[in-house]
């Protein structure tokens, strides 16, 4: 995927990958220690969800049903297909841009098959099955979000022909990975990069160090982002329908407008920004490196 910009060799085993970069999950190869680590990660993140995750995510996580063991992707796919027509495909790790978008456009979400080691519990160079599954899969049970991600895949394929991947990548980054939403219960997260990270969940919602601004498509696509630290800016939507309205438009016209617009620094406000208050007043939260998002998201 076009997020595969790392100084380290890719960790996944690509020798058995098919032409579309899918592999067999090989669930039987997970060790007892892997299962223990999965439960540790799952339980740690779940302690933060009640007042941090949006209802669509919490509902989807319950329907995914993988609290006690590493998920069998085929079994979860059966439930997901019945709900929204999506299915999960196992991949060895980062995959090329075009194939990533093609999977999304076909309502197939790529999930990395390997699990991190215990010493990597707080930080990884590449995303693993915990990030991909715990972070992303629950939201795919929501019909509105599921339709948005498919349309994003279609637009991503078109963006390749327009040589505009960095602009489109920022939309994915600031929504699918690091999106916030206003709900009747207050500010909540729906982005996988937030909800799969022990540190960034509290930081994104509470920290006085972060900027939270109402979502604007052009502002989002002009804004650079960080891959090695917590985000400086988070974009806040008011409903999941807002995402489809943003992506389902004339991409050629939009990108023509954006090519001549200067990039924006995520550490500073821009004219017209509408600030959203943090979930609650909080002391500054110490920063630490988060787990990176899945491939398919370019570097700034």
Q: Which residues are catalytic?
A: 131, 136, 177, 196
Other CB atoms closer than 10 Å to residue 59's CB: what's the count?
A: 15
Provide DSSP, 26-76. -GGG--HHHHHHHHHHHHHHHTTTTTTB-HHHHHHHHHH--SSS---HHHH
Cβ 27 vs Cβ 104: under 8 Å? no
Distance, CA of 267 to CA of 96 (rounded, Å) = 30
Distance, CA of 192 to CA of 135 (rounded, Å) = 4
- The secondary structure of the chain in percent helix, strand, coil, rounded to multiples of 5, reads 45, 10, 45
In Å, what is the CA distance from 198 to each residue of 137, 201, 230, 280?
18, 6, 11, 18
Q: Is 275 exposed, middle or buried (0-12, 13-18, 19+ CB in 10 A)?
A: exposed
Cβ 176 vs Cβ 131: under 8 Å? no
Distance, CA of 190 to CA of 178 (rounded, Å) = 7
Question: Positive or negative, the Cα torsion across 79, 80, 85, 91?
Answer: negative
What values do phi and psi take at 89, rounded to 5? -120, 135
Distance, CA of 9 to CA of 135 (rounded, Å) = 24
Question: Positive or negative, the Cα torsion across 68, 73, 74, 79?
Answer: positive
């Amino acid at each position: 995927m076009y997020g595969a910009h790392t100084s380290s060799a890719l960790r996944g085993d690509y020798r058995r990958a098919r032409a579309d970069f899918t592999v067999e999950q090989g669930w039987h190869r997970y060790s007892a220690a892997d299962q223990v680590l999965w439960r540790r990660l799952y339980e740690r993140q779940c302690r933060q969800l009640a007042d941090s995750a949006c209802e669509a995510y919490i509902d989807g996580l319950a329907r995914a049903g993988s609290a006690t063991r590493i998920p069998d992707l085929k079994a979860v796919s059966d439930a997901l297909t019945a709900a929204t027509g999506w299915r999960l495909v196992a991949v060895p790790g980062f995959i090329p841009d075009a194939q990533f978008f093609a999977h999304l456009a076909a309502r197939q979400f790529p999930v990395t098959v390997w699990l991190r080691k215990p010493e990597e519990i707080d930080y990884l160079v590449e995303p693993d099955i915990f990030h991909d599954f715990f972070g992303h899969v629950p939201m795919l049970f929501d019909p509105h979000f599921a339709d948005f991600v498919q349309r994003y895949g279609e637009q991503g394929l078109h963006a390749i022909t327009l040589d505009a991947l960095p602009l489109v990548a920022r939309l994915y980054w600031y929504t699918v990975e690091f999106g916030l939403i206003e709900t009747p219960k207050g500010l909540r997260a729906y982005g996988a990069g937030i909800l799969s990270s022990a540190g960034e969940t509290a930081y994104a919602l509470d920290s006085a160090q972060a900027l939270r601004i109402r979502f604007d498509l052009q502002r989002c696509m002009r804004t650079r982002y960080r891959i090695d630290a917590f985000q400086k800016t988070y974009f806040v939507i008011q409903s999941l329908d807002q995402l489809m309205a943003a992506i389902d438009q004339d991409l050629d016209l939009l990108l023509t407008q954006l090519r001549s617009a200067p990039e924006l620094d995520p550490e500073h406000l821009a004219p017209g920004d509408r600030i959203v208050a943090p979930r609650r007043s909080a002391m500054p939260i110490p920063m630490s490196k988060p787990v990176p998002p899945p491939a398919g998201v370019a570097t700034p």
